[in-house]
A = this chain, B = another copy of it.
Amino acid sequence: MHKSLDVIFKPQSVAVIGASTRPGSLGRNLFDKMLAADFNGPIYPVHPAAKYVHSVKAYPTILEVPGAVDLAVIVVPRDQVLPTVEQCAQKGVKGLVVITAGFKETGADGAAREQALAEIIKARNMRMVGPNCMGVMCTDPQVRLDATFAGAYPPTGKIAFASQSGALGVTILDYAGSLNLGVSMFVSLGNKTDISGNDLLEYWKEDESAGVILMYLESFGNPRKFVQLAREVSRRKPIVIVKSGRTEGGARAVSSHTGAIAGTDLAYDALFTQCGVLRANTIEEMFDFAMGLANQPLPRGDRVAIVTNAGGPAIMATDACESLGLRLAQFAPETRQRLRARLLPEASVANPVDLLPAANEDDYQFTLEQILQDVNVDALIVISVPPISADAIKVAQRISAVAEKSDKTVLGCFMGVKGLASAAELQKQAVPAFSFPESAARALAAMVRYAQWRQRKTGDFPAFAVRREVAAEIIAGAKKSGREQLTDWEAFQILTAYGIPSVGTKICRHLDEILEAAHQLGYPVVLKVSSPEVIHKSEIGGVQLDLRSDVDLGQAYHKLIVRLQAAGIPPERVQFLVQHMVEGGREVLLGINAIPAFGAVIAFGLGGIYVEALQDLALRVTPLTAQDAEDMVESIRGLAILQGVRGEKPVAFSKLHETILRISQLAQDFPEIGEMDINPFLLFHEPEQCAAADARIRISA
């Protein structure tokens, strides 16, 4: 399927429909820019009246254009878009870029127009970028396509960039050029009526020229497909995404902007983490990541060396590295000895290495060579404030020369406006030069995170032997009787069918059965009312805890009967759950939440009021790999509580991981589960003691 996108990004002939003779107009800018980029094929301007546009012969419609046309770029007024596209179809054009705005972003009329456009595209087997976009670029020297009406044509390079905001996209191209960050392709996605971010991921996965994928997105059409695709693509090349609309207000702004509804931000975080995507919070951060990823090898580990000619920036780099989870490398004794023998006595030869302001290019070269060959070092941040006596350009050249010979990650930081010239020199040689030490640290931390993700085993989606039919029957039964909420007994049966342990539970009707159950389970027990009519048991006081004898249990039973009668519920329609009461253990929450477009999201967190208030929750989008399950457990702030505080033994983590994966399987098998809460699930050191103590399941209508 993706091959068909070549007609858009690597066309051999292009028509610009709506090319204009009026300087400054979109149609003219577009045509002029395409011409200026020296497109490697004929460009045909289409204009209803003009004989030529910018000295190139024009045609009244696409149908008059001689020879084949791969790509039509459309900038006609919105009411002419549909007939124009029809003509393109007649002409046999397979690729479209529709710049024209006035579609779903403008309301109901526009949405209808967009729907009609989508139908033509589909019927005529065409592919389209837009509408309501700023165009596309491909810097491949064999192509040289600039089909945008604004923004600088960037240097050729590894960055493949898609933006859901045209203006931001063009702005970013500007910066990319100024940072000497080469671009392979740029796509302004517009309304994503046909070609979406997912289509581009698929295309760029196979495209050798795309080395680093950057995306600015405000919404996802199909997050489930994204997860699948991104997992595959991230194995080959890094994906960096800015997903805006993170906050409630931001999401409102998105929805008025492109008509798409922003999803839950936490779920996006989960989704990106799972598929190795680096999420950047700002455009600035996206550039930091991209400069590192596009220019330098991935670090083999997280041990950083810092070299500087000024103390202050090195301290700031150290602070930033450590707070981002990187470790400061401990040099081998030989490294320190060699540095000591050569550098000034006042220089610090421990990490960070301070060469002092008097350092020249030879000092930098010697020091970098020593450090890069130290096996305890995975990556290097080299800082330079404009030196007093040395030539900053020479320092930059030496740094580049040493970095080029090493397969370790080297990032530069040239401080100050005066550092800009030397920064440019450094970047020419593919050593990224940041203006602030924190940016270098941020880039490195992202590279380490991505490298670690790549090094991990792919992870399959474990399948456990379960009794799916048991769950299917219970769910079908509830649906049939029009119930959304399953009873707790039904919920426990489903858990059991999926191998999720629960505390000993029996369902009973009469007191004699209840007492018998208690004897089998062993005291102390809990007695609960179980009835579809009583969803919130606590409201009628329908739970009796810590019953330690037949007498206790009998009294509790009679108390419940009285309460049921008081609530107008005939006791004969009610059943009772008897549960062994488990004491101690750590309470956690395990759950399923169906989020529109994402599918089922698995939740894990500590139980109890503390965590409810502290919102310490990890989410993952199904299906989960074993690695996902481990990651989500490790990502909560309160992990230490499960590892054992005050000398306790850790909980049975492998049992917890398995339970999470079984829940993922349940969620996958039954997309109709809208919500499931196991709260608490009790964790102990002994795996066989771990068990669900309460469970609720809601079926979506």
Contacts and interface: CB of A to CB of B under 8 A. Distances in A.
A609 interface: yes
A548 to B, nearest CB: 16
A548 B65 CA distance: 99
A250 B645 contact: no
A552 interface: no
Contacts of A637: 614
A257 interface: yes
Interface string A12-43: 00000000000010100100000000000000
B165 A310 contact: yes
Interface in A268-316: 281-284, 309-316
Interface string A412-444: 000111110000000000000001101000000
Interface stretch (A345-353, A462-470, A658-666): A345-353
Interface in A1-20: none
Contacts of A250: 315-316, 318-319, 322
Given A253-B314, A609-B646, A613-B640, A319 B246 contact: yes
A332 interface: no
Interface stretch (A47-55, A172-180, A226-234): A172-180
A164 B312 contact: yes
A112 interface: no
A144 B316 CA distance: 32
A437 B160 CA distance: 23
Given A253-B311, A416-B171, A609-B645, A244 B350 contact: no
A22 B175 CA distance: 42
A530 interface: no
Given A610-B608, A610-B611, A310 B167 contact: yes
Contact of A415 (B102, B171, B610): B171
A320 B435 CA distance: 22
Interface in A107-150: 149-150
B284 A436 contact: yes
A406 interface: no
A328 interface: yes
Interface in A319-338: 319-323, 328
Contacts of A165: 310-313, 315
Contacts of A244: 312, 315-316, 319
A606 B638 CA distance: 14
A488 interface: no
A248 interface: yes
Interface string A249-270: 1101110111000000000000
The listed residue with most B CB atoms (<10 A of its CB), out of A167, A346, A637, A641, is A167
A253 B639 CA distance: 30
Contacts of A612: 645-646
Contact of A168 (B150, B177, B310): B310
Interface residues of A, number: 92
A254 B315 contact: yes
A247 interface: yes
Nearest to A176: B417
Nearest to A350: B256
A328 B416 contact: no
A567 interface: no
A170 interface: yes
A544 interface: no
B282 A436 contact: yes
Given A171-B416, A315-B244, A319-B246, A354 B257 contact: yes
A389 interface: yes
A254 B323 CA distance: 16
Of the candidates A170, A312, A322, A613, the one having the most CB atoms from chain B within 10 angstroms of its own CB is A312
A443 to B, nearest CB: 14
A628 interface: no
B610 A315 contact: no
Contact of A610 (B166, B313, B606): B606
A211 interface: no
Contact of A323 (B247, B320, B321, B609): B247
A650 interface: no
Interface string A591-619: 00000000000000010111111101000
A70 interface: no
Contacts of A417: 152, 174-175, 177-178
A520 interface: no
Contacts of A416: 170-171, 174-175
A247 B319 contact: yes
Contacts of A247: 318-319, 322-323
A452 to B, nearest CB: 20
A167 B614 contact: no
Given A246-B319, A246-B323, A253-B318, A385 B313 contact: no
B249 A388 contact: no
Contacts of A246: 319, 323
A679 interface: no
Interface of A: 24, 26, 29, 101-102, 105-106, 149-150, 152, 163-168, 170-171, 174-175, 177-178, 216, 218, 242, 244-250, 252-254, 256-258, 281-284, 309-316, 318-323, 328, 345-346, 348, 350, 352, 354, 357, 385-386, 388-389, 415-419, 435-436, 438, 606, 608-614, 616, 637-641, 645-646
Given A168-B385, A257-B348, 17 more contacts: A106-B345, A165-B315, A167-B385, A168-B316, A171-B419, A174-B417, A249-B321, A252-B318, A257-B311, A257-B315, A281-B438, A283-B436, A284-B435, A609-B641, A610-B611, A612-B646, A614-B637
8 contacts: A24-B389, A106-B345, A166-B310, A168-B312, A256-B348, A282-B436, A609-B646, A614-B614
The 6 A-B pairs of least Cβ separation, nearest first, read: A165-B312, A167-B310, A168-B312, A257-B311, A247-B322, A250-B319
